[in-house]
Amino acid sequence: MRNLVTAALTAALLAGSASAALSVERGGVLHYGRYADSLFLDPVLNDANVDIWILSNLYDTLILPTDDGKGLEPGLATEWTVADDGLSVDLTLRKGAMFSDGSPITVDDVIWSLKRAANPDNGIWNFLLGSVEDVVAKGDDGITIKLKHTDPAILPALTVFNTAIMPKKQFEAAEGDTDAEKAKAFAEHPVGSGPFVLKSWQRGSTMTLVKNEHYWDKGEDGKPLPYLDGIEFDLLPDDATRILKLQSGEIDGAELIPYARVEELKNAEGIDMELFPSTRVANVIMNVRPQVDGKDNPLSNEKVRQGMNYAANKQAIIQIVTHGVGTPMSSYMSSATPLHTGEGAVYPYDLEKAKALMKEAGYEDGFSTSILILAGSQDEIGSATALQQMWAQIGIKLELQQVDNATRTQKYRDGEFTMRAGAWTDDIADPNEITSYYVYSPNIDAVHSGWKSEKADALFEASQKEVDQKKRAEQYAEIQKIYNATGPIIPLYETPYPVALRDKVHGFLQIPLGNNVFRAAWMDKQ
């Protein structure tokens, strides 16, 4: 009976923390400026952060992530139990929960939603439910998820957007023959389980959500959430325009404020400059294959990589690129990721050590190399320009190559690169996602670097089934030690999510996984 969390306990915690808050006010439509439009709002078939980060407002999951993104709290399931053998999970569904059209959320809907999410033919997120063997009903108000093998990340997986609950009947009634076609038709007039429901969408311009009148959760005033009548997402792709619109009072919040303007907005009147903790990391990924383009590759030498790491003055990069908003990385994963270990910068700036390592490796005179950066990305251009200067001191001539995202992806998938700028944000409150991409070589060759450690691979495989939290933590500590010492990356910095809000906005939250949470947001009446 491990991992038992009762609704009562959480409710008590919630009530405790809420007493300090201001008394909420209801109503109003919050206008929120986004940098890019969503593409396709299907929990299972979407591909990108622009969808993921707002999906939780439209569809609830069985379990919700806590505000710090690391813990679990009840969602459409009120309690859950992992069996002693770790091979099944029982969940009790919330009584009386309804979809936005007023129809009840049934065991059928839940089973169907989870099976659709776990189906390997559907979308790109099914790997998060790779351990699921079957989902069956347990009585008339519960389900049992049967697992192929023990899975320590199964509960966090049930907080991820792709396991959100959708109405089976309404979905299947949508036009189309295949799941993809039905999803397309359903998305035109979706019926949701989240605090809001999509009302209208002018692509490339505005998206309007209105409150779900049938939402299950209650606010501080005892009445149903959400407090807001609705949200209007205004698409404002230019950073400066987004900020101007916020300053003029035409919108109430704006995401992705450029780091260069955080300080200015902190001092601006009437604006709350929020820096929400995140799992976002920025790095440089190297191709460590012995040969690239038929030539010997100095980056295949561990000592060269270490030397380059020591020569990269991360503190200076944090100042130049993030204007002090970022913090140095102490591991390849963000410090907000569960089971992260490490303190201080992985390779503190040490030019002498860097020179010594380059000499040891036989590259005392340096070499010429290049880095692929995303065309027009001020952050990546900034980091690469700074690295160019820093590495010149150990004799490395770095050429910057700006290409568009698809070109860059193709190049590194083909192994035709020497270095590239990279970034990552977790989608699940577990270290397994980033580790499977960055470390575990069978997945994508350790972010296509060609790096491989059999020991790290074995540790990862073991950790994927290890249900003893302490043992799993030890495994991850070991993986991080190996990777940070010999891995193919230059960790640069981690940054929070910079969101600017009018000071009348309260209760908005962006969790470390990126989800924009509006369910408890409210605004002062003017």
Partner 1 sequence: MTAISPAAQPRRRRIRVARLPLTFVLGGLILGISLILAVFPSIFAPYDPIAMDYNAILAPPSLSHFFGTDSFGRDVFARVIHAYTVDMQIAIFATTGPLIVGVIVGALVGYAGGLTETLFGRVVDAVISFPFLVLVIAIVAVLGPGLTNMYIAVGVIDWVFYGRLVAGEVKVQKRLDYADAGRAMGYTPARIIFRHLLPNAITPAIVYWMTDMALAILLGSSLGYLGLGAQPPAAEWGVQIADGKNFMSTAWWISVFPGVAIVVTGLGFSLFGDGLAELLRTKR
Partner 2 sequence: MALLSFIARRLLQLIPTLAFILVVIFVLVRLLPGDPASAILGDRARDADVVRINAELGLDQPLPVQFLVFVKNIATGDFGNSIHLKVSVASLIADRLPVTLMLTIMAALIALVLSVPLAFVAATRRGRLADNAIRGSFQVGLSMPVFYVGLILLTVFGAQLHWFPVGGFGNGFFDQLYHLFLPALTLALSLAAILMRNLRAAIIGVVDAEYVDFARAKGLRSRVIMTRHVLRNALISTINLFGLQVGTLLGGAVITETVFAIPGAGRLMIESIYGRDYPVVQGLTLALAVVVSLTFLLTDILQAWLDPRVAQ
Q: Which residues bind partner 1 (CB under 8 A)?
A: 239-240, 258, 260-261, 264, 316, 319-320, 323, 373, 375-376, 378, 381-382, 384-386, 388-389, 399-404, 407
Interface with partner 2 includes 234 (CB under 8 A)? yes
**Rounded to the nearest 10 degrees, how much is the dihedral formed by the CA atoms of 345, 347, 352, 355?**
-150
As a residue count, the chain comes to 526
Interface with partner 2 includes 250 (CB under 8 A)? yes
Nearer to partner 1, 273 or 403 (CB): 403
Structure tokens at 37: 């439009």
258, interface contact from partner 1, partner 2, none, CB < 5-8 Å by kind? partner 1
Nearer to partner 2, 218 or 413 (CB): 413
Q: For residue 53, give the nearest of 68, 67, 70, 41 by alpha carbon.
A: 41
Among 19, 23, 85, 204, binds partner 2 (CB under 8 A): 204
Q: Dmax over Cα atoms in the chain, in whole Å? A: 72
Among 29, 83, 174, 187, binds partner 2 (CB under 8 A): 187
Is the bond preceding residue 226 a cis peptide, omega within 30 degrees? Answer: yes
Nearer to partner 1, 319 or 327 (CB): 319
184, interface contact from partner 2, partner 1, none, CB < 5-8 Å by kind? partner 2
Q: How many CB atoms lie within 10 A of CB 343?
A: 8
Interface with partner 2 includes 172 (CB under 8 A)? no
Nearer to partner 2, 423 or 509 (CB): 423
386, interface contact from partner 1, partner 2, none, CB < 5-8 Å by kind? partner 1
Least separation in angstroms between residue 135's CB and partner 2 is 23
Task: Please state, in angstroms and rounded to a whole number, the distance separating the CA atoms of residues 477 and 480.
Answer: 5
Least separation in angstroms between residue 318's CB and partner 2 is 22
Please name the residues in contact with 366: beta carbons below 8 A apart, sequence gap of 6 or more: 358, 391, 394, 395, 396, 397
Among 17, 19, 23, 248, binds partner 2 (CB under 8 A): 248
Interface with partner 2 includes 368 (CB under 8 A)? no
Let me know: does 55 contact 41? Beta carbons within 8 Å.
yes
**Residue 289, Cα to own-chain centre: how many angstroms?**
29
Among 138, 168, 184, 353, binds partner 2 (CB under 8 A): 184
Among 241, 378, 389, 469, binds partner 2 (CB under 8 A): 241
Structure tokens at 377: 């990305």
Least separation in angstroms between residue 373's CB and partner 1 is 8
Query: What is the DSSP code (8-state) at residue 129?
Result: G
Nearer to partner 2, 411 or 481 (CB): 411
Least separation in angstroms between residue 413's CB and partner 2 is 6
Q: For residue 286, give the nearest of 472, 491, 455 by alpha carbon.
A: 491
- State the amino acid at position 139 in one-letter form: G
Nearer to partner 2, 234 or 457 (CB): 234
Among 237, 270, 290, 348, binds partner 2 (CB under 8 A): 237
Phi, psi for 379 (deg, rounded to 5): -65, -45
Task: Please state, in angstroms and rounded to a whole number, the distance separating the CA atoms of residues 159 and 188.
Answer: 25
Task: Please state, in angstroms and rounded to a whole number, the distance separating the CA atoms of residues 334 and 500.
Answer: 23
R_g of the chain computed on alpha carbons: 24
Least separation in angstroms between residue 103's CB and partner 2 is 25
Nearer to partner 1, 3 or 389 (CB): 389
Which span (201-209, 287-295, 322-330, 512-520) binds partner 2, by CB under 8 A? Answer: 201-209
Q: For residue 384, give the nearest of 308, 474, 441, 446 by alpha carbon.
A: 308
Least separation in angstroms between residue 372's CB and partner 1 is 10
203, interface contact from partner 2, partner 1, none, CB < 5-8 Å by kind? partner 2
The full DSSP string for 35-86 is: SS------TTT--SHHHHHHHTTTS--SEEE-TTSSSEEESSEEEEEE-TTS
Which residue in the block uniquely carries the two structure tokens 């038992």?
4
Among 413, 468, 471, 485, binds partner 2 (CB under 8 A): 413
Please, is 327 exposed, middle or buried when counting C-beta atoms within 10 Å of its C-beta (0-12, 13-18, 19+)?
A: middle
Name beta bridge partners: 232.
31, 208
180, interface contact from partner 1, partner 2, none, CB < 5-8 Å by kind? partner 2
Sites of contact with partner 2 (CB under 8 A): 39-40, 47-48, 121, 124, 180, 183-184, 187, 202-206, 234-238, 240-241, 244-245, 247-248, 250, 404-407, 409-411, 413, 422, 424, 437, 443-444, 447
